[in-house]
């Protein structure tokens, strides 16, 4: 089941087209990354699906129905820097969040603080928190009401490596409970490490969408090694429809269209030719390389 479906969403700011007919589907239970450089339309897209902005054309649905106040109660969100009172504790800040938003209950506050690993510091002033802790408190506020979907815009922006690691660990932990997470990011490493699905935007256009595995796997890449690399290379070239062969620092890379390379067949062919293969691994392309290919950047 898809929790979110977008159909040809357009949005312009004067002469600037921020979104140019974006259509995508977010399956339930996924960590769905919306990836793109600054100015690609990520924040505009999230603002539209959260009813902060209106689309010029197109439509979208949550849980198979048109967006409504009832549907919004199932969605927690963090779109910008959290706005908490610096002199109040985490507990009292969340009480105010509950009072203003009407989401969740006072009884849930300890539960969400446990989820984001801030319970031990629940009575500390917000001003004493690190940036990572402040961001985790903002996610705690988004979790009030036990939403089934969490929407996060650049959740690790401005954090140090420790804070980034904490937020990524929290996203993985929340996804294990069945929460669907939609996050926008310009960080390739972030999407590759935490997301199951990805949509890549470039200047408002959707240029790739699907599971991270599918988006990366546009070709097969086989790493192969032997104690006699020149002989191995010669044997590989003698195979029919082998694809392209590249020599790396210590290994040979065999590349071909997706589904075209059979490691077992290559191993058997080498063995029959008297070459013992000591390394044979199908390698995934890094998201960084694939992203730059798609965006021509």
DSSP string, 101-125: H--S-GGGHHHHHHHTT-GGGTTSB
Among candidate residues 75, 34, 16, 82, the one with its CA nearest the CA of residue 51 = 75
* Rounded distance between C-alpha atoms, residue 149 and residue 159, angstroms: 23
pLDDT at 261: 82
Q: Check residue 240 and give its pLDDT.
A: 79
Helices (H) and strands (E) in the chain, counts: 11, 14
What's the pLDDT at 292? 66
Note the pLDDT of residue 142.
Answer: 92
Neighbouring-strand partners of residue 209: 199
DSSP 3-state of 32: strand
**To the nearest 5 percent, what fractions of the chain are helix, strand and coil?**
35, 30, 30
Contact 109, 98 (CB under 8 A): yes
Q: What is the pLDDT of residue 217?
A: 61
The per-residue pLDDT string of the chain (297 residues; one tens digit each, 9 = 90 and over) reads 899 999 999 999 999 999 999 999 999 999 999 988 888 899 999 999 998 899 999 999 998 888 777 777 789 998 876 789 999 999 999 999 988 888 888 999 999 999 999 999 999 999 999 988 999 999 999 999 999 999 999 888 888 888 888 889 999 999 999 999 999 988 777 887 899 999 989 889 998 888 887 776 666 778 888 888 888 888 888 887 777 888 876 788 888 777 778 888 889 988 888 888 998 887 766 566 666 666 665
80-108 burial, b for 16+ CB within 10 Å, e for fewer? eebebeeeebbbbbbeebbeeeebbeeeb
Rounded CA gap, 151 and 47, in Å?
10
Domains and CATH numbers, the chain: 2-215 (3.40.50.300), 218-295 (3.30.70.980)
Written as six digits, the tokens of 160 are 């140090």
Backbone angles phi, psi at 136, to 5 degrees: -65, -35
Residue 239 pLDDT: 85
């Amino acid at each position: 089941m898809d929790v979110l479906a977008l159909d040809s969403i357009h949005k312009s700011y004067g002469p600037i087209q921020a979104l140019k007919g974006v259509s995508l589907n977010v399956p339930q239970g996924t960590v769905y990354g919306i990836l793109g450089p600054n100015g690609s339309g990520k924040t505009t897209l999230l603002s539209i699906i959260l009813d902060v902005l209106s689309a010029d054309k197109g439509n979208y649905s949550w849980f198979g129905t048109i967006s409504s106040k009832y549907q919004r109660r199932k969605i927690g969100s963090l779109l910008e820097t959290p706005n908490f009172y610096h002199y109040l504790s985490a507990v009292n800040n969340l009480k105010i969040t509950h009072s203003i938003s009407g989401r969740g209950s006072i009884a849930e506050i300890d539960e969400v603080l446990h989820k984001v690993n801030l319970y031990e510091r629940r009575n500390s002033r917000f001003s004493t928190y690190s940036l990572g802790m402040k961001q985790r408190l903002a996610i705690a506020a988004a979790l009030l009401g036990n939403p089934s979907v969490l929407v996060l815009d650049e959740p690790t922006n401005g954090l140090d490596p420790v804070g980034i690691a904490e937020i990524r660990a929290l996203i993985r932990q929340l996804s294990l409970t069945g929460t669907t997470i939609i996050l926008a990011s310009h960080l390739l490493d972030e999407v590759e490490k935490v997301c199951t699905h990805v949509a890549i935007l470039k200047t408002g256009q959707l240029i790739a969408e699907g599971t991270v595995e599918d988006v990366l796997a546009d070709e097969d890449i086989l790493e192969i090694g032997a104690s006699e690399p020149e002989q191995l290379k010669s044997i590989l070239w003698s195979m029919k429809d082998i694809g392209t062969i590249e020599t790396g620092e210590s290994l040979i890379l065999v590349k071909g269209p997706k589904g075209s390379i059979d490691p077992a067949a290559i191993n058997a062919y080498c063995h029959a030719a008297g070459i013992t293969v000591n390394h044979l691994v199908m390698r995934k392309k890094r998201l960084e390389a694939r992203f730059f290919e798609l965006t021509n950047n």
